[in-house]
Every structure is written in structure tokens, then in C-alpha cells.
Amino acid sequence: MVEASTKQAQIKEFFEFCNANEVEFVDFRFTDIKGTWHHIGFSMVAVDESSFDGIPFDGSSIEAWQSVNKSDMILIPDPIRYFIDPFTADTTVVVFCDVWDIYKNQPYEKCPRSIVKRAMQYLIDTGIGDIVYYGPENEFFIFDSIKMQDSINCQYYEVDTEEGEWNRNKNFEAGSNIGHRPGTKGGYFPVAPVDSLVDIRAEMVKVLNQVGLETFVVHHEVAQGQCEIGVRFGNMIEAADNVQKLKYVIKMVAHLNGKTATFMPKPLYGDNGSGMHVHISIWKKGKNCFAGDSYQGLSDTALHFLGGVLKHARSVAAFTNSSTNSYKRLIPGFEAPSILTYSAQNRSASVRIPYNQGEKAKRMEFRFPDSSSNPYLAFASLFMAGLDGIHNKIDPGKPMDINLFELSLDEIRAKGIKQLPHTLRSAIEEMLVDKDYLKQGGVFTEEFLQVYKAYKFETEIWPWEARPHPFEFISTYSC
């Protein structure tokens, strides 16, 4: 808990920031179970120190939260997590918020940001460490247009990008066709004009820097229209907040350029999908707990953390790969790490130990998550699985320094290697069986897990299972 005097100083600094930047509006933002960012705006003149005690809102209007007869909820602004919105016509400061449950007089069990804060406190309570760092790598697609329809007689979508190989014979403005295209799986690192997204990525980087995100790697990814912009690591809450900022900025810059950006894992059949690789390390008193003398310079603590994630990964996937579309990415042939093992520098494994020479850089890269997940829930579930591994000294087994993409399903089974679930339904069912590790320290509650299950079934799994797929007409119509 932040001491009252510290919080008062932080609030004072916030108002000084607003005065210095001539802020006219304050946008209070919070995240729901799915990961959608919501906001409530106020004129700056209506905001004072008491606003940080709580801002009322209707919790029944947020899916899977409150019933209408107990709908009053409170937003608690975080006085150290804010930035100037680069897209509003009038100067607006965005403030991250947690949700407070007035009926239980405690942080709301279904607030994803509060779950991360409980996980961070649990780390301290265990004595294992005092901070955990996350470095997510979010891949995304930039399209020129998207059309979709979901009706009783039509299930349809169509995305388009000038980079698409399907446009080789298309006439664009003035009858021109640039002819330079990456092709399927051909987009990794080519220069312009094959890479047609250089300038829009540069604009995205500038705006990300403007909102306080330090970027480093910026490049075209493997698929047509696919990109990656890497941002600097932070603690668990900072990293999750930063994913929300990054997704907001990238979508808005694309929108203002007449394009559309998506973090959907698998929008293109037959080309690579988008992941969210997550780098993790735990620190205590300024020292990296993952550095040691075991495999690839890792400590036993790191290997036990890894063992916990591998043991619980099929359950963790309910949060790290939380859409039905996630599992169309996790199939062989598209560089997606669905096999639950680890290796050094081997990108076919679901967990990679990156090459580095210093103790400070020792970490693990979990390659199976994707950006359709709620970053708060994804990061917290990964962490809780790893911490369970440390508590119970779970052995991750031997590394597999081979190209796992070349293994057949029979070979995978013969080696006794587990795979990630093949559907969201399977992942949710795995989580319901293997959930005790999530509830340690009160980080996730049984109520939340049941609500999450019901929400996913009602809004994604059952609707997806009930709808005819266009390919079913190809394979079955003439039966």
C-alpha cells in the first residue's frame, strides 16, 4: 500500500504536470475482463484531489461485471500512471485506474489491473523477489480495409492490403500496380519498396515515444502486412499498462492514415500469425534471481519457474491465448510454438533462453502468448504458474535443441512432449481442472475464474461453435 503522504505528493505532482501542459480534459481509463480499454472523461476544472478517492460509474454496463441491482462501482485513479493523449483535439491527460468494490470495500476481484497488483504483492510476501520484469513483443497487422458480416445466411470476412500477393493483377490508382510484394511468409526484413509500411511504422514509433514508451526494434514481420515494434521492459503493472498504450497508439495511427491495425493472432489463412512473446525475469535487492550456473547461465530458481510454466501452460493458455482465433495460430508450419519445451536460442520451442553475456540480461522468453489476451491476466497467470514452480521446485525436464517444427505428431507423442490446447474450449477446461496455483495469495479468486469461464463460453466459444464456416460449404455442401 502507498503511504498517504506519498500519495498526496504524487497527486500534487499530477496537478503540476497538468498545469504545465495546460490540460483541458482528464480521461480516466480502466480495463475489463476481455482486455478492452474503457474511459470516462471530465473537464479539468471538475477534477481535484478528491477525484483520486474514487470516481463512480455503472458497473452493470461492463460485460461480466455487476448486476443492475448492485451496479455502483468506483474507479481509483493511479496518480503515477498517466500520459498526454496525442490524438485528441484538446489537451487531454489519460490516467490509468483500478476498480474498487464498494460492497466488499476492497479492490474489485474482476479488475484485471488489481489482479496484477495482488500478484506483485504476492511476490514480495513470498520473499522470492521484490520485482518481476516483463518485456512483451507485440506483433500486429496493418490492412488497407476489413469487411465482415455475421448474419443468418452469411458468414463472411475479407481483409485487404496492397502488400497481399492476391493483388498482383489488381489496378490501383491511375491503373498502377507497384509489383513489389513480400509474398506468403516472405516479409521478414525486406527493404522498401517490398516493405511498404516503413513510414507508418516510423510514425507509430514517434507517437509511442511521445507517450513515454521507449522503443527499440522496429521491422516488418514474416507475413504480408505484418509488423513488430518492440518497447522497453517494465515491472508487471508497467508492462501491462504499456501494452494497452501501444495497442491504442498503433490502432489510432493506422486509423488516421486511412488504414486499420489488428492484433488478432491469425487474420490470414496460410501465412504466419501474430504473437506476443513475453520476456520475464525476477529480481531481489537489485540482483537478477534468474542468473546462475545451470543451463545457459540460468539459476535453479529460473529453471523451477520455467518448470512451473511448462507444467501449467495448458491452463495458462486460457489467459495468454484467450480467443478462439488464438488456436489457428498455434498449428504446425507457421513458426508458432505449440510444443511445450524449452531451448537456448531455439525459436521452435515454446520457451526460449535468449543469448546474452551478462547476468542482468538473463531471462526467459515465453513465445506462445498472443495479443488477443488481456495483458494483465496473461502476465499474472504466467507469473503464478512460474511461482508455483519455484515453490515446488518443479523440474522443467531436459531442453530440446532441435527444430521442433520438423517433428511429426507421432514423434511428439513418442517423446512424451505436451502440446498447448487446440481450442479455447480445451484451454478453459484445462484451467478449471488446474487452477489452484492461480488462487495462491488470493491473486485470482474462484469467483473470478468462474465468471471468466462463463464469459468466454457465452461471448466466444458457443457463438463460434454454432456458426457454419465457409470451408464447411466447400467440404460438405455437395454431400
**Among candidates 305, 318, 302, which has minimal Cα distance to 434?**
318
Stated as kind and residue range, the H or E segment containing 327 is helix 326-329
d(CA 102, CA 370): 33
DSSP β-bridge partners for residue 298: 291
Share of the chain above pLDDT 70, in %: 98
Whether pLDDT at 159 is above 70:
yes
- At 203-230, the pLDDT tens digits run 999 999 999 999 999 999 999 999 999 9
Whether pLDDT at 410 is above 60:
yes
Burial of 20 from C-beta contacts in 10 A (0-12 / 13-18 / 19+): exposed
- At 134-153, the pLDDT tens digits run 999 999 999 999 999 999 99
Residues belonging to the binding site for Mg(2+) are: 137, 139, 221, 228, 277, 365
Catalytic residue among 38, 39, 219, 347: 347
- At 440-461, the pLDDT tens digits run 999 999 999 999 999 999 999 9
Interval 155-160 mean pLDDT: 95
Interval 287-296 mean pLDDT: 95
Residues belonging to the binding site for ATP are: 279-281, 347, 360
pLDDT band of residue 369 (cuts 50, 70, 90) is very high
* R_g of the chain, CA atoms, integer Å: 23
Catalytic residue among 78, 85, 109, 139: 139
Q: Is 58 a catalytic residue?
A: yes
Catalytic residue among 81, 220, 277, 314: 277
d(CA 461, CA 455): 9
**Among candidates 243, 479, 202, which has minimal Cα distance to 379?**
243
Q: Is 221 a catalytic residue?
A: yes
| 31 alpha-carbon distance from chain centroid | 12
**How confident is the model at residue 350, as a pLDDT?**
92
Whether pLDDT at 1 is above 80:
no
Say if CB 416 and CB 287 are below 8 A apart. no
DSSP 66-125: --GGG-EEEEEEEEEEEEE-SS-SS-EEEEEEEEEETTTTEE-TT-HHHHHHHHHHHHHH
Q: Is 137 a catalytic residue?
A: yes
Query: 364: Cβ–Cβ under 8 A, 6 or more apart, which residues?
Result: 279, 280, 281, 290, 298, 302, 305, 306, 342, 351, 352, 353
Share of the chain above pLDDT 90, in %: 81
**How confident is the model at residue 177, as a pLDDT?**
82
DSSP β-bridge partners for residue 312: none
- 117-149 residues labelled b (16+ CB within 10 A) or e (exposed): bbbbebbeeeebbebbbbbbbbbbbbbbeeeee
Residues belonging to the binding site for L-glutamate are: 272-273, 329, 335, 347, 367
Whether pLDDT at 343 is above 70:
yes
Stated as kind and residue range, the H or E segment containing 301 is helix 300-320
**How confident is the model at residue 175, as a pLDDT?**
67
- At 242-279, the pLDDT tens digits run 999 999 999 999 999 999 999 999 999 999 999 999 99
Cα distances from 167 to residues 161, 181, 196, in angstroms, run: 8, 9, 14
Helix axis angle, 236-256 to 375-391, nearest 10°: 150
Whether pLDDT at 334 is above 60:
no
Burial of 457 from C-beta contacts in 10 A (0-12 / 13-18 / 19+): middle
The CATH number that domain 131-477 falls under is 3.30.590.10
DSSP β-bridge partners for residue 50: none
**How confident is the model at residue 299, as a pLDDT?**
97
Hey, where are the domains in the chain? 1-108, 131-477
Q: Is 24 a catalytic residue?
A: no
**And the C-alpha cell for 295?**
543451463
d(CA 251, CA 205): 12
Q: Is 228 a catalytic residue?
A: yes
Q: Distance from first CA to last CA of the chain, Å, rounded?
A: 64
The CATH number that domain 1-108 falls under is 3.10.20.70
Burial of 189 from C-beta contacts in 10 A (0-12 / 13-18 / 19+): exposed
**How confident is the model at residue 411, as a pLDDT?**
79
**And the C-alpha cell for 12?**
500534487
Catalytic residue among 32, 137, 241, 271: 137
Say if CB 64 and CB 451 are below 8 A apart. yes
Question: For 82-96, 379-393, 415-429, which range has the lowest pLDDT when averaged over its residues?
Answer: 415-429
Helix axis angle, 375-391 to 300-320, nearest 10°: 140
Catalytic residue among 16, 58, 158, 436: 58
**How confident is the model at residue 414, as a pLDDT?**
79
Say if CB 237 and CB 31 are below 8 A apart. no
Specify the pTM: 0.95
Interval 159-182 mean pLDDT: 84
Backbone angles phi, psi at 413, to 5 degrees: -65, -40
Residue 193: asked if its preceding bond is cis (omega within 30°), the reply is: yes
Q: Is 277 a catalytic residue?
A: yes
Residues belonging to the binding site are: 137, 139, 221, 228, 272-273, 277, 279-281, 329, 335, 347, 360, 365, 367
**How confident is the model at residue 397, as a pLDDT?**
92
Tell me the average pLDDT of the chain: 94
